Chain A
Amino acid sequence: MIFTVENGCFDYDKKRQDNFLLQNINFSFSKGELIAVLGPNGAGKTTLLRCMMGLLPWRSGATLLDGENIRHIPYNLLWRRIAYVPQAKNPLGMFKVEELVLLGRSSHFSLLRQPSAQDREIAMDCLRRLHIQHLAGRNCRQISGGELQMALIARALAAQPEVLILDEPESNLDFKNQLVVLDAMSELVEQGIACVFNTHYPAHAMQRADKALLLDRQGHYRFGPTTEIINEDNIKNAFGVEAVIGEIETKHRIYRDILPVSVLKLDLESESLADANGANQKGEDHMTQENAEERSRETRVAIVGAIVEDRNAAEKINELLHEYAKYIIGRMGMPYEKKDVSIICVVIDAPEEITAALSGKLGRIHGVNIKTTYSRI
């Protein structure tokens, strides 16, 4: 499965001829990838999701699913492959959770038919898959926001889709439920479903997503591996915020996090300037991109050390290391039978973002404890 957006343009103002809200958006992803869509309020994150699902028509450009324009795929076939998870708001209807989830089967049988026992079984399976089978008999109005969000994910899963598109799934949730939802997404991605979610939290994107799409208010966007997209410069440009990216160390892992420090003072001025003079803004963009490239050529020696508790992780680790082989200058692997763990040590000479991406990906594998030490050279 390859999902592609080609030259997508959109604006709510139908008369507008240039400077669209979304301008020439191009990106693609395939199965098993987690894509985060980021951007300030009003940048068009939700609009982008709606356009790419065909719920809003692109002004020009198209969404392709395995090369076929989704406009030409019959709606019931399309919605078996793509599923949409709305934000958990107050639900209409006194449904039980299992009835809500069953609604996700709609595209699988004809209009006049009733859901079969098999459809019910699939709906229950989806609840089990997300570990919320205990909610099945509960009323949708009596469960918490986090539980409702999980139920909505289960409803989308019931369509047995290849792509899951989630609209701010972890907004309005507390810490625990944010983790529950994010873990569920990571788990589904591991099972081979592609997930696209938009979020207000760059940190969630950094910790989870393989790729990120960063929108700004001027209709520009960046798309690429998360560690390359989410850096202090890009955050500053997109959000108008001075932010620092740092690391939080626990006994088992180092987590990357981002902290907004101050609002850029020139914010208002630069925005109005940008509106008045788009060309200038683009020039600036060019500059920062050059800077980034220059910086990325600068490599640093680092040691990535991991203790692996799960035997099944070995294959995935090898795959990843193979992917980054050209930067790796040395590696050591050592099983420790007595405690049933393996110790892996990789020495790498690569730009910092690359090293961060590798250790981030390794850290997301189940049963891997990992830390990275950078040299000053």
Chain B
Amino acid sequence: MERQNKTFSYKKCAIVCSLIVAPIALAFIALAVGRFPLSFSTVFQVLFEPISDVTNIDAQTQTVLWNIRLPRILLAMLVGAGLAVSGLAFQNLFANPLATPDTLGVASGASFGAVLALLFGLNLIWVQLMALIGGVLAVGLTYSVSANRNRGSITTVVLAGLIIGSLFTALVSLVKYVADAESQLPSIVYWLMGSLSSANYGMLLLGAPLIVIGLVVLLLLRWRLNLLPLPEDEARSAGVNISRLRLATVVSATMITASCISMCGQVGWVGLLVPHMCRMMFGGNNQKLVPACLSVGAMLMLIVDTLARTVSAAEIPVSILTAIIGAPVFIFLLRRTGGWSL
């Protein structure tokens, strides 16, 4: 028994360590690869240049690493982690394995808000704010459309999300139709496809805090998320202010989603794929799932974005790649472990 416990905790320790180390290692690799390949030793030298005496690095390498690759990698990891954790939060909130920012219409709502801000030529703060408002509006609508006395069934919620999502997609199309075909439309369309290429520190400084705050709140609430999918009576009899918990969760998750969307457009699949992958690997306990999704989401997005900027001369939009990579991986996992469930 003693022995069993020990090996179990070694295993646990190894998993925790790899979830922390793997994204960092991947980030190092991602710094090195690209159209302008660098050796790992150069990457190390550049990264530790501020605190070492080495000064023989040319300016071009410095620019590529510090001003182009690093912000982009940080953004990719942040967005990946954010979308994965918010997907997980929505799944628990709606007690529904198919609930994600995409299926609930949150992504469309946030897109509409952001596109509207782009149409009026507002700056990134406004894009973020409008995306947040659009997202909250959409999730509120979906909830009220699907809610009945016993909370919506899985299909009702998804249908409601579909309706609200298509409503906002229509509104987005309306904005596209109204937009000036010469100047505004291309930027809107390109933004909608999702790209991380425009990443810079100014953008990160504006968008990252909202994502980080949302992630921290959800990390702190991670064990409590387990209470959300319980039937109403059971949740209330747990002795927790369940409406406050729901509010905190929905605000955090929507904030993350809206902020991600306002920075790099609508990137689908991550919110659905990562929580399910993690659930199949680590079980249904959200206390473990939230940190796992955070790490796996960051890694997945990093890999996808690195592929997006390396496989072809012209960059491929990430949303296309997430779908192309996501679908088969998901089918494989589904076949192997069987079944969607929370």
**Seed contacts A53-B237, A95-B284, A114-B222; 12 additional CB < 8 Å A-B pairs:** A75-B239, A84-B234, A84-B237, A86-B231, A93-B342, A94-B341, A95-B283, A106-B238, A106-B239, A106-B240, A115-B223, A139-B283
Q: List residues of chain A with CB under 8 Å of any chain B CB.
A: 50, 53, 55, 75-76, 78-80, 82-84, 86, 92-96, 99, 103-104, 106-108, 111-112, 114-115, 139, 141, 159
Nearest neighbor of A54 in chain B, beta-carbon distance = B236
A108 to B224, CA, bound (A): 12
- A55's partner among B236, B279, B283, B287 (CB-CB below 8 A) is B236
- B342's partner among A84, A92, A159 (CB-CB below 8 A) is A92
Nearest neighbor of A98 in chain B, beta-carbon distance = B285
Contact with A along B320-342 (1 / 0, CB 8 A): 00000000000000000000011
Pair A50/B238 contact, Cβ less than 8 Å: no
Pair B221/A111 contact, Cβ less than 8 Å: yes
A103 to B238, CA, bound (A): 7
Nearest neighbor of B288 in chain A, beta-carbon distance = A99
Chain B CB within 10 Å, residue with most, of A92, A96, A115, A159: A92
Within the complex, what minimum Cβ distance (angstroms) separates A61 from chain B? 20
Q: Is B46 an interface residue, CB under 8 A from the partner?
A: no
A94 to B229, CA, bound (A): 12
Interface residues of B in 268-316 (CB under 8 A from A): 279, 283-285, 287
Within the complex, what minimum Cβ distance (angstroms) separates B187 from chain A? 41
A78 to B238, CA, bound (A): 10
A107 to B227, CA, bound (A): 12
Pair A78/B279 contact, Cβ less than 8 Å: no
A111 to B225, CA, bound (A): 10
A104 to B223, CA, bound (A): 12
Q: Is B55 an interface residue, CB under 8 A from the partner?
A: no
A115 to B226, CA, bound (A): 12
Known contacts A86-B234, A92-B229: does B240 contact A112 (CB below 8 Å)? no
A111 to B238, CA, bound (A): 12
Known contacts A92-B342, A93-B226, A95-B284: does B234 contact A107 (CB below 8 Å)? no
Which residues does chain B contribute within 8 Å of A92, judged by CB atoms?
95, 229-230, 341-342
Pair B239/A79 contact, Cβ less than 8 Å: yes
| 30 contacts across the A-B interface (CB closer than 8 A) | A55-B233, A75-B236, A75-B240, A75-B241, A76-B239, A79-B238, A84-B234, A86-B234, A92-B95, A92-B229, A93-B229, A93-B341, A94-B279, A94-B283, A96-B285, A99-B226, A103-B226, A106-B227, A106-B238, A108-B239, A111-B221, A111-B240, A111-B241, A111-B244, A111-B245, A112-B221, A114-B223, A114-B287, A139-B283, A159-B239
Which residues does chain A contribute within 8 Å of B178, judged by CB atoms?
none
Nearest neighbor of B341 in chain A, beta-carbon distance = A94
Pair A50/B224 contact, Cβ less than 8 Å: no
- A94's partner among B240, B245, B284 (CB-CB below 8 A) is B284
Known contacts A94-B341, A94-B342, A114-B223: does B240 contact A107 (CB below 8 Å)? yes
Q: Is B13 an interface residue, CB under 8 A from the partner?
A: no
Within the complex, what minimum Cβ distance (angstroms) separates B16 from chain A? 14
Nearest neighbor of B217 in chain A, beta-carbon distance = A112
Pair A96/B224 contact, Cβ less than 8 Å: no
Which residues does chain A contribute within 8 Å of B220, judged by CB atoms?
112
Pair B226/A83 contact, Cβ less than 8 Å: no
A3 to B221, CA, bound (A): 33
Which residues does chain A contribute within 8 Å of B231, judged by CB atoms?
86
Within the complex, what minimum Cβ distance (angstroms) separates A22 from chain B? 17
Pair A107/B285 contact, Cβ less than 8 Å: no
Pair A103/B221 contact, Cβ less than 8 Å: no
Known contacts A76-B240, A111-B221: does B234 contact A96 (CB below 8 Å)? no
A114 to B342, CA, bound (A): 21
Within the complex, what minimum Cβ distance (angstroms) separates A80 from chain B? 6
Pair A107/B238 contact, Cβ less than 8 Å: yes
A106 to B234, CA, bound (A): 11
A93 to B227, CA, bound (A): 10
A103 to B222, CA, bound (A): 12
A107 to B226, CA, bound (A): 14
Within the complex, what minimum Cβ distance (angstroms) separates A82 from chain B? 8
Nearest neighbor of B248 in chain A, beta-carbon distance = A111
- B285's partner among A76, A82, A95, A141 (CB-CB below 8 A) is A95
Pair A107/B221 contact, Cβ less than 8 Å: no
Chain A CB within 10 Å, residue with most, of B220, B229, B233, B238: B238
Which residues does chain A contribute within 8 Å of B229, judged by CB atoms?
92-93
Nearest neighbor of A81 in chain B, beta-carbon distance = B239
A94 to B241, CA, bound (A): 24
Nearest neighbor of A99 in chain B, beta-carbon distance = B285
Within the complex, what minimum Cβ distance (angstroms) separates A334 from chain B? 47
A82 to B241, CA, bound (A): 16
Which residues does chain A contribute within 8 Å of B239, judged by CB atoms?
75-76, 78-80, 106-108, 159
Within the complex, what minimum Cβ distance (angstroms) separates A91 from chain B? 9
Nearest neighbor of A49 in chain B, beta-carbon distance = B233
Pair B226/A111 contact, Cβ less than 8 Å: no
A53 to B234, CA, bound (A): 12
- B233's partner among A50, A82, A108 (CB-CB below 8 A) is A50
Which residues does chain B contribute within 8 Å of A104, judged by CB atoms?
238
A6 to B287, CA, bound (A): 41
A79 to B220, CA, bound (A): 22
Within the complex, what minimum Cβ distance (angstroms) separates A182 from chain B? 22
Within the complex, what minimum Cβ distance (angstroms) separates B273 from chain A? 17
Which residues does chain A contribute within 8 Å of B233, judged by CB atoms?
50, 55, 84, 86
A158 to B154, CA, bound (A): 30
Nearest neighbor of B95 in chain A, beta-carbon distance = A92
Nearest neighbor of A77 in chain B, beta-carbon distance = B239
A76 to B230, CA, bound (A): 17
A99 to B227, CA, bound (A): 11
Within the complex, what minimum Cβ distance (angstroms) separates B316 from chain A? 35
Contact with A along B203-239 (1 / 0, CB 8 A): 0000000000000000011111011011101101111
Within the complex, what minimum Cβ distance (angstroms) separates B5 from chain A? 12
Within the complex, what minimum Cβ distance (angstroms) separates A272 from chain B? 29
Chain B CB within 10 Å, residue with most, of A84, A93, A108: A93
A112 to B217, CA, bound (A): 8
Within the complex, what minimum Cβ distance (angstroms) separates B223 from chain A? 5
Which residues does chain B contribute within 8 Å of A50, judged by CB atoms?
233
